[in-house]
Structures are given as C-alpha cells and as structure tokens.
C-alpha cells in the first residue's frame, strides 16, 4: 500500500485475480484461477466488430450506449424472461458489469449507508462499497447437501430499514449456486418490506446446468421498480476482454446510475457494441452449446478434484467450483494456493478474498472450468502426481 492511498481504499486488498494470473504466468502453471475462457466466442460476432472498426464506428458511442445494443438488451430480456423494458430509458450500456456495479453503488450509497451483501461475494463488490463509504453487512450462503444455499434467516435479520442496497449475484460466483424460487421470494419479501434497492449481478445468467434455469429477481412480485439488473457479454459470449456490459431497471433507477456512470468512462467500446447487439439477437444457439459443453468440463473437473480429496461442490451454474482443503490437512487455502504452482504447476484462487471476514472462507479454494478440456486434464494429471498434503 502506498502512503498516499485514500483512507477509504486502505482496507481493500489488490484484486486476487491479478495476483494469481501473474503467478500462473510467472510459473508456467495451468491457470484454473481467473475466470476467462481459453477460446474466444462466436466468430461471426468478432467479424461484426471488425466490420464496425473498418466501417466508421470509431467515435464516441452515445452516453447510454448505441441504440441497437439497447434494443437488443431489451429484446433479450423480453424473449428470455418476459420482462418489458424501454430501450431508451431503462437500459444503460457500461464498460463491463464492473462499471455497472461501480456506478450503481456510487450513485445509490451514501457514506455510512448499510449495504447488505450476499457472501461469499465477487471481490469488486467490496471495493465498490468501500469507494462509496458504505458499511458492509454480509448475508451468508452456506454449504448444504444440495450445494450452497442462502441463509434466509440471516437475510431477514440483516436487511432492515437501515439497509439502502442489497447487492448480490446469481448464478453465483464463486459457489455455483443458482437462487431457487423460495430464495428469490425471500429476497423480494425483505426488499419490499424495508424499501431496499436490489442490485443483482446476473453475468452468468445463461451458464446453468442439469436443467436448472436462472430466473431474474426483477421478475419477482414488487421487484421491477426496485431492482437494478446487471449483466455483460463477457461470460455469455466468451469475450471477457471486450468489457461490454449493461444495467437495466426502472427509468428512475437507470437515470440514477447514469449520474455516476457518465463520469466514470462516459462511454466505451463503440465498435464492439453493435457486434454484441448482433450476438444477443442471433447467437442463442452458440450460448446453449457453450453451456452444454461447460457441463461436461464441470463434471471432468469436479470428478477429478473429488478423487484428489479436494471436496468440490457441484455447481448449478457459473464456471467455478469451490473446494475445501481441510481434508488434505491445510487450514489455510491461501497457503495451499501459494504452494500449488511449485508442487503441481496449477493455479487456483483462495476464496477468502470473497469474505467479509477472511477467516470464514479460509479453507475454500475456487477452481475454474471455463478452460479447454486439455488444460483441465493437464491440471488434474499434475495434481494427481503431486503431494498435496500440508
Ligand atoms: N460479476 C461477476 C460475478 C463476475 O464473475 C465478473 C467477472 N466477469 C464480473 C461481474 C465482471 O464482469 P465484466 O468483465 O463484464 O466487467
Ligand atoms: N470474473 C472473473 C473471475 O471471477 C474475472 C475477474 C477479474 O479478472 N476481475 O474470475
């Protein structure tokens, strides 16, 4: 940390993804850490971006995003979920889901406001709340026989009239949980009762398995006017480097978020936005194929990790699984992850970065299966040959 760092960022560690991907590169390890796929998304989408680059789409996009992308996002929400949005007033294009999250928290949270966060949480949430001066109130997901599930009692106890925003993610990185109907209903009930705005990050909306389907919180009774939904092209179309995302919700909420967003990037990725509009309109089949293929890779990775005693949870969605290293004698997942490149040539993510109190996630490790089958096989082979005990 530098001595000039503003106080509100002093308790925010550097993102674990940069640290662990640099470690993978430095040690030549198989990177099952940071969640980006080995293979790029649909070739026609890339061709559309090239055409836009060569076809004069290189100046600033309009503040809320190019009209065809806003229309495609609205059409996507209608087609998949029956949610009707006005593309001119209820859709905002952002620099990835990351900017949408930052703009949402910065525009909705005052210093001292309570923000309930479902935990474990994606690490950017912690940074966003810190930058806004908000006070985190974690609501845990707990491991059960059917994967990680929301602790509804804790939700009811934590969300009160003092809560300004509930921040969560489904399908859930890093646990792989997809909120079920009773969990969604409980969230809607507390949000309505305490007049809370819900910011829900649905970037893995299409990556679900075994017939489990994602259902948006915005579609729950009473939630349309109080839910800001965030998604992104990165995971759905395997184009994480493009950083094209969006936020949708009522005109009032979208206008509120725009107040901060316009001062962050203003706009981004003008030539990529029409290509993502094309992807949303025409690439449903490629997305379904990706999800089916990921299910096979999930089984490969989870099966292999289970055999090694790493106790992975079988995720219903996303491309991550969480495992427990205590069975191998490690109390501390961070130490395990630091030893792993040298012992096995593999990088994974210590999940304690996703907890308010790192001690609660100390034993958990996140493994990504968005990598090629050959990368997963190589990692499993190397793990099997290594001494993984503490
Ligand atoms: N939310 C979650 C839960 C994520 O896993 C990620 C990583 N894609 C993001 C947000 C950030 O998305 P983007 O790359 O579109 O900014
Ligand atoms: N969302 C991805 C993950 O969870 C990548 C995040 C990042 O690199 N900031 O691994």
Peptide bond into 319 cis (omega under 30): no
Atom of ligand 1 nearest to the CA of 172: 3
pLDDT (0 to 100) of residue 3: 84
**Single pTM value for the model:** 0.97
| Helix, strand, coil in percent for the chain, rounding step 5 | 45, 15, 35
CA of 96 relative to ligand 2 center, distance in Å:
11
* Residues sharing a CB contact under 8 Å with residue 343, sequence separation 6 or more, in sequence order: 386, 387, 388
8 A C-beta contact, residue 44 and residue 252:
no
Q: Which residues of 216-245 are buried (b: 16+ CB within 10 A; e: fewer)?
A: bbbbbeebbebbbbbbbbbbbbbbbebbbb
Atom of ligand 2 nearest to the CA of 18: 8
Torsion of CA 229, 235, 238, 242, to 10 degrees: 50
* Residue 245 CB less than 6 A away from ligand 1: yes
- Pocket, ligand 2, Cβ cutoff 6 A: 15, 17, 34-35, 173
Q: Would you give per-residue pLDDT tens digits along the chain (390 residues)? A: 678 999 999 999 999 999 999 999 999 999 999 999 999 999 999 999 999 999 999 999 999 999 999 999 999 999 999 999 999 999 999 999 999 999 999 999 999 999 999 999 999 999 999 999 999 999 999 999 999 999 999 999 999 999 999 999 999 999 999 999 999 999 999 999 999 999 999 999 999 999 999 999 999 999 999 999 999 999 999 999 999 999 999 999 999 999 999 999 999 999 999 999 999 999 999 999 999 999 999 999 999 999 999 999 999 999 999 999 999 999 999 999 999 999 999 999 999 999 999 999 999 999 999 999 999 999 999 999 999 999
**Cα–Cα separations (whole angstroms), residue 178 to 72, 82, 204:** 25, 19, 10
8 A C-beta contact, residue 249 and residue 223:
no
Tell which one of 36, 96, 207, 230 to mutate to probe ligand 2, the residue whose CB is within 8 A of the most ligand atoms: 36
Q: How far apart are CA 370 and CA 365, in angstroms?
A: 16
* Residue 173 CB less than 6 A away from ligand 1: yes
What is the number of other CB atoms lying within 10 angstroms of the CB of residue 384?
A: 12
8 A C-beta contact, residue 234 and residue 223:
no
Closest residue to atom 5 of ligand 1, CA basis: 173
CA of 60 relative to ligand 2 center, distance in Å:
27
Q: How far apart are CA 272 and CA 277, in angstroms?
A: 9
pLDDT (0 to 100) of residue 1: 65
Strands 30-31 and 346-347: parallel
**Which ligand number lies closest to the CA of residue 97?**
1
327 torsion bin: left (phi>0), alpha (psi -120 to 50), beta (else) = alpha
pLDDT tens across 323-338, in order? 999 999 999 999 999 9
pLDDT (0 to 100) of residue 2: 79
pLDDT tens across 98-130, in order? 999 999 999 999 999 999 999 999 999 999 999
pLDDT (0 to 100) of residue 285: 98
* Residue 214 CB less than 6 A away from ligand 1: no
Atom of ligand 2 nearest to the CA of 173: 4
**Which ligand number lies closest to the CA of residue 120?**
1
Token pair for 199: 């910011």
CA of 352 relative to ligand 1 center, distance in Å:
18
Atom of ligand 1 nearest to the CA of 122: 3
Closest residue to atom 1 of ligand 2, CA basis: 35
pLDDT (0 to 100) of residue 116: 98
> What is the Rg, in whole angstroms, of the alpha carbon atoms belonging to the chain?
20
* Residues sharing a CB contact under 8 Å with residue 357, sequence separation 6 or more, in sequence order: 138
**DSSP-based three-state secondary structure for 79:** helix
Q: How far apart are CA 13 and CA 20, in angstroms?
A: 13
Tell which one of 200, 201, 231 to mutate to probe ligand 1, the residue whose CB is within 8 A of the most ligand atoms: 201
pLDDT tens across 189-211, in order? 999 999 999 999 999 999 999 99
**Which ligand number lies closest to the CA of residue 247?**
1
pLDDT (0 to 100) of residue 282: 98
Please, which residues bridge with residue 149 across strands? 142
Atom of ligand 2 nearest to the CA of 124: 9
């Amino acid at each position: 940390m530098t001595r000039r760092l503003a106080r509100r960022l002093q308790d925010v560690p550097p993102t674990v993804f940069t640290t662990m991907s640099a470690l993978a590169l430095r040690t030549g390890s198989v990177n099952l850490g940071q969640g980006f796929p080995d293979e790029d998304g649909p070739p026609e989408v890339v061709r559309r971006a090239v055409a836009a680059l060569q076809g004069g789409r290189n100046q600033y996009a309009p503040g809320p995003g190019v009209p065809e992308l806003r229309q495609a996002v609205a059409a996507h929400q209608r087609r998949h979920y029956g949610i009707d949005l006005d593309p001119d007033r209820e859709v905002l294009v952002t620099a990835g889901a990351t900017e949408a999250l930052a703009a949402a928290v910065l525009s909705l949270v005052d210093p001292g406001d309570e923000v309930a966060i479902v935990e474990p949480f994606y690490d950017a949430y912690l940074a966003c709340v810190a930058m806004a001066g908000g006070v985190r109130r974690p609501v845990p997901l707990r491991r059960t026989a059917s994967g990680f599930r929301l602790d509804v009692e804790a939700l009811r106890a934590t969300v009160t009239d003092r809560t300004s925003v509930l921040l969560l993610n489904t399908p859930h990185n890093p646990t792989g949980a997809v909120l079920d109907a009773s969990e969604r209903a409980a969230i809607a009930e507390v949000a309505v009762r305490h007049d809370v705005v819900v910011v829900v990050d649905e970037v893995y909306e299409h990556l679900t398995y075994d017939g489990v389907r994602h259902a948006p919180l915005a579609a729950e009774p009473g939630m349309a006017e109080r839910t800001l939904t965030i998604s992104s092209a990165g995971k759905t179309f395997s184009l994480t480097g493009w950083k094209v995302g969006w936020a949708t919700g009522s005109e009032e909420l979208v206008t509120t978020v725009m107040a901060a967003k316009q001062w962050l990037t203003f706009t981004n990725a003008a030539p990529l936005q029409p290509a993502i509009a094309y992807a949303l309109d025409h690439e449903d089949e490629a997305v379904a194929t990706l999800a089916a293929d990921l299910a096979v890779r999930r089984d490969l990775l989870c099966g292999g990790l289970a055999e090694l005693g790493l106790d992975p949870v079988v995720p219903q969605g996303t491309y991550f699984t969480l495992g427990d290293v205590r069975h191998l004698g490690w109390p501390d997942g961070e130490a395990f992850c630091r030893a792993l490149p040298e012992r096995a040539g593999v990088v994974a993510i210590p999940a304690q970065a996703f907890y308010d109190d790192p001690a609660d996630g100390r034993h958990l490790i996140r493994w990504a299966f968005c990598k090629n089958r050959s990368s997963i096989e190589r990692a499993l082979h190397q793990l099997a040959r290594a001494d993984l005990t503490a």
